[in-house]
Amino acid sequence: MSRLVKPLAVAGLALAVAALVLAASSVRATRPAPEAGNADLLPPPAQLRLSRASSGPVAPASVTVDQVGDVDSFGRNLRWLGVTNAFITLAPTCDPTDPTPCQALSPSPASTAFDFTDTVRIELPKKATNSLFCYWFSPVLTVNWQNATASPVVGRLVINPTLTVENPVLDDPALIDPGTGAPFGGRLETGMTSSERFEVPMAPGVAFTERTRDSAVCIAGFITRRNLIDGYGLTPAQADEFFKKPTTVKLNVRGSAQHVGFASLVFGLRIIGD
């Protein structure tokens, strides 16, 4: 019996180890990357090394990517390119005569989704910038939280802004959007490091109004020469041509609200370049 038990024990241990390895690899594979698909963040170091290797020779400069992260904009003056504000209302009912974007809220406890495209836009002339577009984004949110139920609830507000960028270079049908697998059709959509998620516990019958304000400022840029080449598949010549053409930037705001009685969402958007 002992001769049989030992091989079975070894086999069982091997199966257990294999299961643990498989589970660990599954967790690693499904763990979402932070701010995935957001051009305003620099790529991870490993991806950055690959992009350098595939981009060919770098134009002569007094600094390198390893030293400053962005040689295209290094030493260049900041350019003020435009500013605008978007106003969005979430309310029990919306006035059809009011042009302000508005979403009618479903009665609690239902959650209400909203999706506003092209809330505001900035139209930039050709050669407005040299190698990047960057944003400053400042939400000013006034939210009335309400728990009209007889039980404790958690109020929720989720806001996911994105930018649609239109440029004639993207009209080329041979250029494929890696996010959709289809031709760009003259435009691309990029995420922003400005998503917001609020969760507010409330006792029965509680109602109050809260105002918050914050800002997100430029990191890598929502459009850069390097990202057009490494991230979107443009050639260096096409990337250079991109910045010689007029560009329109549109702000989109998506999200959801639950146990919200009313909300006024104001988004300040400024674009800068080099």
Q: Give residue-wise pLDDT tens across range 51-87.
A: 444 444 444 458 887 787 778 888 788 999 999 999 9
Considering the chain, what percentage of its residues have pLDDT values greater than 90?
67
Confidence label for 43 from pLDDT (cuts 50, 70 and 90): low
Q: Tokens for 145? A: 């939280």
Q: Is residue 146 part of a domain?
A: yes
On whether the CB atoms of residues 142 and 209 are closer than 8 A, the answer is yes
Q: What is the SS3 string spanning 99-167?
A: CCCEEECCCCCCEEEEEEEEEEEEEECCCCCCCEEEEEEEEEEEEEEECCCCCCEEEEEEEEEEEEEEC
Q: Is residue 235 part of a domain?
A: yes
Q: Which residue has the higher pLDDT, 45 or 257?
A: 257
Residue 31 has pLDDT above 90, yes or no: no
In this structure, what DSSP letter does residue 215 have?
-
| Mean pLDDT to the nearest integer, 131-157 | 96
Confidence label for 118 from pLDDT (cuts 50, 70 and 90): very high
Q: Is residue 250 part of a domain?
A: yes
Mean pLDDT of the chain: 83
Confidence label for 10 from pLDDT (cuts 50, 70 and 90): very low
Residue 95 has pLDDT above 60, yes or no: yes
Q: Is residue 93 part of a domain?
A: yes
On whether the CB atoms of residues 256 and 105 are closer than 8 A, the answer is no
User: Cα angle vertex 187, ends 182, 192, to 5°?
Assistant: 105
Q: Is residue 20 part of a domain?
A: no
Considering the chain, what percentage of its residues have pLDDT values greater than 70?
78
DSSP string, 58-105: PPP-SS-HHHHS-SSSTTPPPEEEEEEEEEEEEESS--TT--S-EEEP
Q: Is residue 198 part of a domain?
A: yes
- Identify the pLDDT of residue 40: 55
User: Cα angle vertex 148, ends 147, 154, to 5°?
Assistant: 25
Q: Is residue 43 part of a domain?
A: yes
Residue 6 has pLDDT above 90, yes or no: no
CA gyration radius for the chain? Answer: 25
Look at the chain and report how many structural domains it folds into. 1
- Identify the pLDDT of residue 243: 97
For residue 99, the enclosing domain spans 32-55+66-273
| Mean pLDDT to the nearest integer, 1-23 | 40
Torsion sign across C-alpha atoms 241, 237, 252, 202: negative
Q: Is residue 8 part of a domain?
A: no
Residue 188 has pLDDT above 50, yes or no: yes
Q: List beta partners, residue 183.
A: 176
Distances (CA, A) of 46 to 49, 53, 64, 197, 245: 5, 11, 17, 30, 32
For residue range 255-274, what is the model confidence (pLDDT) as tens digits? 999 999 999 999 999 999 99
Distance of CA 208 to the CA centre of its chain: 30
